[in-house]
Amino acid sequence: MSKDAPSSMCEVGAGPRACPGQPQGVAPTHATNEQRDTRYETRDTIQYINWLRIIAIYLVVTAHVAIWQAMASETFTFNWWVGGWLFYLAHVSIPIFVMISGALLLDDSRRESAGQFYRRRMVRVGIPLVVWTCVYLAVRVFLDAEELSPAGALRLILTGDPYYHLWFLYMIVGLYVITPPLRTFVRCARRGERLLVIVVGLVLANAYFQTDVLIWNNQRSIFTMFVPWIAFYLCGYELRRIDPGKVPSRYLVLAVLISAGYLAAFFDVFMEIEGGVGVRYLFDFFSPPIVFLSIAIFWAAYLHDQKAKPKSVSRISYLVSRIIPARRDCFSPLASRDTNNEIRDTRYKRRLVEKVSAATLGVYVLHPLILDLMRIAFSEHADEGNFLAGVIVVPFVTFVLCYLITSLLMKIPILRRTVC
């Protein structure tokens, strides 16, 4: 897994430091039977993080295609419903990204100071933020033909809206700023206390977003927009330490009931305003269905990764195949040809996943530009295509093009930091 990958990747190693007033070396983690020990996880054992990032970025691209398709369709038609629900379900992408960051960055295994953290992370996210803010302000002027004054550009920056997707980078900067104090909190707080903060934070975030729609008309600020996401950030840290196989099934039933109740409660309002694709009563990152689905996908990726590990390949066999490759057949079945083929295939797949995952930031910042160029190029044929083919083919083509461009930019030293 690439260290330069987006969404705050960092290695995992030693255990946490002691809280203030506690002897060094005494970890205040208050483990329970449900807790997984992540102190000795390596880059190989958290491969599911790479898969999560690939899934999340593909959903981002799909969401932005689906919402355009839905808005171009007549209300309450088949295409409108499919596009709307794809857009809604793809909302899990941003919570997944934030939870990945929390899972990796709130683990204070580096033992780095706040200054070291800020220098490392702010450079990594600051360069793409500045560069792509300038690029997309230019896109607004030259591609979208907007009349943009300096004051208007400043207003877009202060609201985190140089382009419709860049708010995420401004939000991540805010989470990075409070990461050092949050590390102290997760290190010293008991699990019950952390879970309480997460639940209360998610409830308040949902209430805030709904009130924002009704009263404040979505007036975001780069100085506060990260606050509702703290709960997801902490949630990622906690999810990585809970064995999903030991979570009682009654919690799954409760999540389904809460989600169903939420959708039923707002369905009448949704229908009264003729759906209004994009209306936040349903289309909300913090609505219960999205929260529970995000957690389910996070855990599903972990469980799949555990089942996919080649348990038949022993550590001794692996070492023999690496140290004595020329005579591996002499150690059959310890180092059999099938075993080595399995190792080789596994390593190839892992490297492929890591390469695609490392391009996540590049795909994220590039895909609106690619979609805009495709829209302009095919504007005369916009009504001729099949809806389902559009929401399937266009995201895939966009993803592949963004990945190829990102891979090229990563090979150019002066541009590498803009996409990874």
Q: What is the pLDDT of residues 254-303, one digit of tens each?
A: 999 999 998 888 777 666 655 554 455 566 899 999 999 999 999 999 88
Let me know: does 160 contact 225? Beta carbons within 8 Å: yes
Specify the pLDDT at position 80: 86
The residues that bridge with 242 in the sheet, in sequence order, are 35
Q: How confident is the model at residue 339 (pLDDT cuts 50, 70, 90)?
A: low
Interatomic CA distance for residues 254 and 247, integer angstroms: 12
The pLDDT of residue 183 is above 70: yes
Interatomic CA distance for residues 95 and 420, integer angstroms: 20
pTM: 0.83
The pLDDT of residue 90 is above 80: yes
Specify the pLDDT at position 182: 96
Q: Express each pLDDT in 119-175 by its tens digit.
A: 989 889 999 999 999 999 999 999 999 999 999 999 999 999 999 999 999 999 999
Average pLDDT, whole number, for the chain?
81
> Between vectors from CA 309 to CA 304 and to CA 311, what angle results, nearest 5°?
135
For the chain, percent of residues with pLDDT exceeding 90: 53
Interatomic CA distance for residues 253 and 267, integer angstroms: 21
Q: Which residue has the higher pLDDT, 56 or 284?
A: 56
